[in-house]
Structure 1
Amino acid sequence: MDNDVFRSFTTVPGVYAAQVDARGVLVRASQQLYRRLGCQPDDLHGRYLHDVVQRDGLRGETIIVMVAPDQQRTQRPDAIKYRKILTKMDSRILEGVAAGVPTAKLAGMVELSRGGVEYHVTNLLRKLRAPNRTSLVSKAYAEGILAAGTWPPKVVPDFVK
């Protein structure tokens, strides 16, 4: 991660910056965060950021979190053959979920029942190994399934069968 970008977040008083890996494990943090917690970098390195926030008293404070790219995942040569994981219906439903469309309205948009939409959402949760809709959308952006910087959200065609 670019050190200048990381440092720019640490100049604002009362704002703490942390960099985590894809699993949410702390890679590094701003000096302000270490001082606020009264610890050294070695005390936090390797801990889950969620645990640090919950157990070390950072509730209600501003923390800018940056996720380090997973080098191993981006260099996998077999990644291309596993890309087409969504049906056309899955992609339409994922776009609707990412846009925050309620289930009943989404059902009307894709011409399914509410149960049909829920069925597809459940399959998407399973395919992306996400516990809930918020995580589903987050993982879809992280995996590059949803195109970054577009509104309404759009699935990248390379992921559709």
Structure 2
Amino acid sequence: MLGSCLTVSEVKVVELAAAGRTNDQIGRELSLSSHTVAAYLAEAMRRVGARNRAELVARCYVSGVLDVGQWPPCAVAARGKGGATGGPIVNLASSQ
């Protein structure tokens, strides 16, 4: 989906998902419920046009949202933008 955006919160959740963490583990680390984590992942998938978690992570790597040379995965965009509401921070363009 061209011109889609992920919020700061969605990027943080995707980073941890890319590192192999479960929704429960992500929730504990970010002080969120596993249902909120699932909602962030579902919204991020919708925004980037991914059909599943693996495709979401792959699209984030391909688009440069996640740094390929960094382990554990880390978002390339600067932290703190978007404010406490988790507003848009990263524009994703389809690589297709």
TM range (shorter): 0.7 to 0.9
Match among 2, 9, 19 for residue 89 of structure 1: 9
- Does 2:64 correspond to 1:141? no
Match among 12, 18, 21 for residue 101 of structure 1: 21
Q: Distance in 2 between matches of 1:103 and 1:160?
A: 22
Q: Distance in 1 between matches of 2:71 and 2:58?
A: 15
How far residue 111 of structure 1 moved from its aligned partner, in angstroms, is: 0.8
By relative contact order (CA 8 Å, sep 6+), the higher-ranking structure is 2
How far residue 93 of structure 1 moved from its aligned partner, in angstroms, is: 0.1
State how many pairs are aligned.
Answer: 80
How far residue 86 of structure 1 moved from its aligned partner, in angstroms, is: 2.1
Root mean square deviation, CA, Å: 2.0
TM-score, length-scaled by structure 2: 0.75
TM-score, length-scaled by structure 1: 0.46
How far residue 160 of structure 1 moved from its aligned partner, in angstroms, is: 2.3
Q: Deviations for 1:97-147, whole angstroms, at most 9, x for unmatched residues?
A: 100101111101111111100000000101110000111111111111111
Runs of at least 4 residues off by over 3 Å: none
Rg larger for: 1
- Which has the larger share of helix? 1
Structure 2 residue aligned with 1:122: 42
Structure 2 residue aligned with 1:73: none
Q: Distance in 2 between matches of 1:105 and 1:156?
A: 22
**Ranges in structure 2 where 5+ consecutive residues have no aligned partner:** 79-87, 91-96
